[in-house]
A = this chain, B = another copy of it.
Amino acid sequence: MMIIKTIEEMRSKVAERRRQAGKDEKESRIGFVPTLGYLHKGHASLLKRAREECGTVVLSIFVNPLQFGPNEDFERYPRDPERDSAIAEQEGVDFIFMPDVTEMYPQKILTTVSVSGITEGLCGASRPGHFDGVATVVTKLFNIVQPDRAYFGMKDVQQVAVIQQMVRDLNMNVEIIPCPTLREEDGLALSSRNVYLSAEERTQALVLQLSLNEAEEWVRQPGIRSRELRQNIISRIATAPLAEIDYVEIVSYPSFLPLEDEEPVTAAVNDGQLLIALAVRFGQTRLIDNRLYSLGDQDTKEEANRV
């Protein structure tokens, strides 16, 4: 495994791998897992999948200032490159691309890649500029690493949709592989930000997963409307006194168009395309979680979660 700090070296390593690539499709494939670092088992699962499918696996670790708002946690975002390297080594990563901010942004960047429509709600609304920052840095990373496949976790479901849309719209030569959200044993979605939580916040944070579980029943109530479903979820989250709701959104997937208040949710569930997405603060820490609902069996649902 090799740690690479410069764009030039990253390019030359990838080019070398391409030149050496034989006829074998899997062996010649370059898989890419872009991250902010502070790796957890969710990241590890992406790396495992990339390792299974690709001859070369590149992990990038870059806390991208562009995707953090002025009052967000860019400065205090957790960083531990040594631990990250150990995890990457264990997962069989070939190259860690770990550039400094000045390597990625040597002068003021004037170019922005932005995706409209699907970024209007959810994190797009509550974190203005966030998805421009994501789309722009992912474009840069794709241009530097030139992967055949890139792996993203479905915890950030809107991010996955934004990147899939961008890749399709701009004819980027990469296949996006969405991967299922990984969870702690008690159900909390894995996130690098979980480390911010106090013991009490950590316990109360389970309410995200629990309300999404209960919604499995609610979405099946005949004739239930979006407004009522939303109110149920809000009330459930409110049972955790430390929870401060940022948003509870009920949208159709993959359009991310919000359901009207009085719209029955059944049609969307029938299509296996109802998405409930949550963002809730516990103290200083903002957590997100989401689930796709369908009337199909578990297999169908799992499949929907992967697409």
A residues with CB within 8 A of B: 7, 11, 109-118, 135-136, 139-140, 143-144, 146, 165-166, 169-173
Q: Are the C-beta atoms of B111 and A165 separated by less than 8 Å?
A: yes
B11, B140, B165: which contacts A170 (Cβ < 8 A)?
B140
Residue among A140, A143, A165, A166 with the highest chain B CB neighbour number at 10 A: A143
Chain B residues lying within 8 Å of A113, measured Cβ to Cβ, are 111-113, 170
Q: In whole angstroms, how far apart are the Cα atoms of A142 and B166 in the complex?
A: 15
Chain B residues lying within 8 Å of A118, measured Cβ to Cβ, are 110
Copy tally for this chain in the complex stands at 2
Interface pairs A-B: 8 shortest CB-CB: A111-B169, A143-B171, A110-B117, A109-B169, A111-B166, A140-B171, A110-B116, A111-B115
Chain B residues lying within 8 Å of A115, measured Cβ to Cβ, are 110-112
Nearest-neighbor residue (CB-CB) of A11 within chain B: B173
Q: In whole angstroms, how far apart are the Cα atoms of A165 and B164 in the complex?
A: 25
Q: In whole angstroms, how far apart are the Cα atoms of A143 and B115 in the complex?
A: 17
Distance in Å: Cβ of A24 to nearest Cβ of chain B:
14
Chain B residues lying within 8 Å of A165, measured Cβ to Cβ, are 110-111
In the assembled complex, 20 residue pairs joining A and B whose CB atoms fall closer than 8 Å, in A order, are: A7-B171, A11-B173, A110-B115, A110-B116, A110-B117, A111-B113, A111-B114, A111-B115, A111-B165, A111-B166, A111-B169, A111-B170, A112-B113, A112-B114, A113-B113, A114-B114, A140-B169, A143-B172, A143-B173, A146-B173
Nearest-neighbor residue (CB-CB) of A105 within chain B: B169
Chain B residues lying within 8 Å of A117, measured Cβ to Cβ, are 110
Q: In whole angstroms, how far apart are the Cα atoms of A117 and B146 in the complex?
A: 28
Chain B residues lying within 8 Å of A116, measured Cβ to Cβ, are 110-112
Nearest-neighbor residue (CB-CB) of A166 within chain B: B111
